[in-house]
Amino acid sequence: MASLTPRNNTTPSPTAAPLAVECRGITRGFDSATGRVPVLQGVDLALPAGEIAMLLGPSGCGKTTLIQILAAMLDADAGDCTVFGTTITAISAVARTQFRQRMIGFCFQQYQLIPTLTAAENAAIPLLIAGVAMPRAVERARHELDVLGLGDRTASRPNQLSGGQQQRVAIARAVVHEPRLVVCDEPTSALDHRAGQSVMTLLRERIVRPDRCVIIVTHDNRILSYADRTCHMEDGRITAVERTGALIHSTRSSADSAATALNAH
Ligand SMILES: Nc1ncnc2c1ncn2[C@@H]1O[C@H](COP(=O)(O)OP(=O)(O)OP(=O)(O)O)[C@@H](O)[C@H]1O
């Protein structure tokens, strides 16, 4: 039976896992020829550490915009966003960049690997940005690729790898610096079923830890079973959050929520 609590009750209980992400009233728009177009219209969201959270919703509802803000890649217009205790909406741009480099791993939909670099060099990029010397960074990246089953492809360039292998290089790059928040935009959309399941298994086994959080934007119904929590978004707002089948909060009627749950599983 679904349990309902008020929408703004995002305070964890004393026994709850620490919060990885807490957003309140996040708004964001983009300029257009006709003026500022609102995209995020007051996002409230609390995500505990130790979970995979999936962000679902129709095209254009603002999912990518939201995860870019959570990943400290994009400024919010208003509202507060705290990631593992740092309110990233309240710190300087320089501090936010440093926070992102240390704490965030981002996996892009189209991998965005650098074609002239090897798999190991691509995966080493966050370490190089952090000032680690090239030989050590590449060695560390090789180890990460080995863990992800690509130990024999570390010297390959992206165009010599399959889509699933490129995605694993992108995951290695997202986790090589041991970030606490890993954000993935459509990590399986370009993969066949088997490669998609393999990527999700790797994400769960390699990244999910009690002091970390993984947020995945997806339209891929095939991977929903990997979610600990699903967050539904519509028109720039979170409309419902469910954890392993239990509705945590909703701004919709129960009939709408039940329909969403059925459609999602
Ligand atoms: N840099 C930008 N400049 C102008 N408009 C933008 C920009 N980025 C996003 N938008 C607009 O904001 C809206 C939300 O985009 P966003 O990519 O966040 O949606 P989404 O839910 O991730 O969509 P999809 O599922 O199709 O990827 C869209 O109308 C998009 O055109």
The complex's ipTM? Answer: 0.96
- Left if phi > 0, otherwise alpha if psi is -120 to 50, otherwise beta: which for 139? alpha
**CA-based max dimension of the chain:** 57
d(CA 128, CA 66): 27
Phi-psi category of 95—alpha, beta or left, where left has phi over 0 and alpha has psi -120 to 50? alpha
pLDDT beneath 70, residues of the chain: 1-17, 245-265
List, in sequence order, every residue forming a beta bridge with 85; answer none if it has no partner: none
Q: Which residues pair with 247 in a beta bridge?
A: 242
The reported pLDDT for the residue numbered 164 is 87
pLDDT of residue 148: 84
Q: What is the pLDDT of residue 28?
A: 97
Mutate to test the pocket of ligand 1, among 30, 183, 237, 238 (most ligand atoms within 8 A of CB): 30
User: What confidence score (pLDDT) does residue 256 get?
Assistant: 46
Query: Which pLDDT value is given to residue 188?
Result: 87
Q: How far is the CA of 258 from the centre of ligand 1 (A)?
A: 27
CA 73 – CA 107 distance, rounded (Å): 13
What's the gap in Å between 216 CA and the centre of ligand 1?
Answer: 16
Topology (CATH level 3) of domain 51-62+92-243: Rossmann fold (3.40.50)
Domain regions of the chain by residue span: 51-62+92-243
Question: What per-residue confidence (pLDDT) applies to 85?
Answer: 94
Q: What is the per-residue pLDDT across 118-152, written as a single tens digit (0 to 9) for each?
A: 999 999 999 999 999 999 999 999 999 998 889 99
**30 C-alpha vs ligand 1 centroid, how far in Å?**
9
pLDDT at position 20? 95
Residue 16 has what pLDDT?
Answer: 62
pLDDT, position 198: 83
CA 7 to chain centroid, in Å, comes to: 22
**What residue ranges line ligand 1, CB within 6 angstroms?**
30, 39, 57, 59-65
